[in-house]
Chains A and B, each alone.
Chain A
Amino acid sequence: MSVLEVRDLAIRFGGLQALQGLNLEVNEYEIVGLIGPNGAGKTTAFNCITGFYQPNTGSVSYRGRDVTKAPPHVKAAMGFGRTFQNVGMVKSATAIDNLKTAQHAKAGYDVLSGLVGTSLTSRRERELTAKADAILDLLGLQHIRDKRVGGQSYGTLKLLELGCALATDPDILLLDEPTSGMGPDESDELGDRLLTLRREFALTMLVIEHHVPLVLRVCDHVYVLNFGRLLAEGKPSVIQTHPEVVAAYLGGEAPEALEQTQETEEDAELDRLTGQAAQHHDNPSIAAPELVEPEPSGPARRRRAAAASAAAGSAEERLRPKKRAPRKRPATTEEDESA
Chain B
Amino acid sequence: MSVVEERADAPAAEQGQAPRTGRQFGPIRWVPRLMVMGALAYVFLYRIPQDDGGAAAIAADACIYAIVGISLNILIGHTGQLSLGHNGFFGIGAFAAAYSLTVRDVPFALTFVIAGLVGALFALVMGLVALRITGLYLALITLVFALTLEESLFEVEWLTNAGGGQPADRPEWLIDDANFFYFCLAFLVVAVYIDYRLLASKTGRALLALKENERVAEAFGINVTAFKLIAFVLSGTLAGVAGALLAYRIGLVTASGLGFNLALTFVLMTVVGGLGSRLGVVLGASLFASLSFLLEETWMHSVQEFLVGLASFGSEGAKANLEQYAVGFLGALGLLLTIVQFPGGIGQQFRAFFDWTFGKPFDVHALLHPQDDGPGAVEGSSVRA
Chain A residues within 8 Å of B, Cβ to Cβ: 50-52, 71-73, 76-77, 81-82, 84, 88-94, 96-97, 100-102, 104-107, 109, 111, 114-117, 121, 125, 146, 148, 150, 164-165, 168
- Given the interface pairs A52-B218, A92-B378, A115-B198, the reply to whether A101 lies near B224 with Cβ below 8 Å is no
A-B pair count, CB < 8 Å, reads 114
With a cutoff of 8 Å between Cβ atoms, the chain A residues found around residue B223 in the complex are 71, 73
Residue of B nearest to A83 (CB): B219
Whether the Cβ atoms of A146 and B221 lie closer than 8 Å is no
Q: Can you report 26 residue pairs joining A to B where beta carbons are below 8 Å apart?
A: A52-B215, A71-B218, A72-B218, A73-B217, A73-B220, A76-B218, A89-B216, A90-B212, A91-B212, A93-B205, A94-B17, A96-B16, A97-B15, A101-B209, A104-B202, A104-B221, A106-B221, A111-B203, A114-B201, A115-B203, A115-B234, A116-B197, A117-B197, A125-B201, A148-B378, A168-B221
Q: How far is the CB of B348 from chain A (nearest CB, A)?
A: 15
- In whole angstroms, how far apart are the Cα atoms of A165 and B220 in the complex? 8
B213 within 8 A of A: yes
Whether the Cβ atoms of A125 and B200 lie closer than 8 Å is yes
Given A88-B213, A94-B17, A104-B209, 8 other A-B residues pairs in contact with their CB atoms under 8 A: A52-B215, A73-B220, A90-B205, A93-B15, A101-B222, A104-B206, A114-B201, A117-B200
Whether the Cβ atoms of B19 and A150 lie closer than 8 Å is no
Whether the Cβ atoms of B20 and A146 lie closer than 8 Å is yes
Residue of A nearest to B15 (CB): A97
- In whole angstroms, how far apart are the Cα atoms of A116 and B200 in the complex? 11
- Given the interface pairs A97-B15, A115-B197, the reply to whether A76 lies near B216 with Cβ below 8 Å is no
Residue of A nearest to B223 (CB): A73
Q: How far is the CB of B321 from chain A (nearest CB, A)?
A: 42
Residue of B nearest to A94 (CB): B16
Out of A73, A77, A115, name the residue touching B201 (CB < 8 Å): A115
Out of B19, B200, B209, B221, name the residue touching A90 (CB < 8 Å): B209
With a cutoff of 8 Å between Cβ atoms, the chain B residues found around residue A51 in the complex are 218
Q: How far is the CB of A100 from chain B (nearest CB, A)?
A: 6
Out of B17, B213, B219, name the residue touching A76 (CB < 8 Å): B219
B110 within 8 A of A: no
With a cutoff of 8 Å between Cβ atoms, the chain A residues found around residue B193 in the complex are 117
Out of B201, B217, B230, B234, name the residue touching A121 (CB < 8 Å): B201
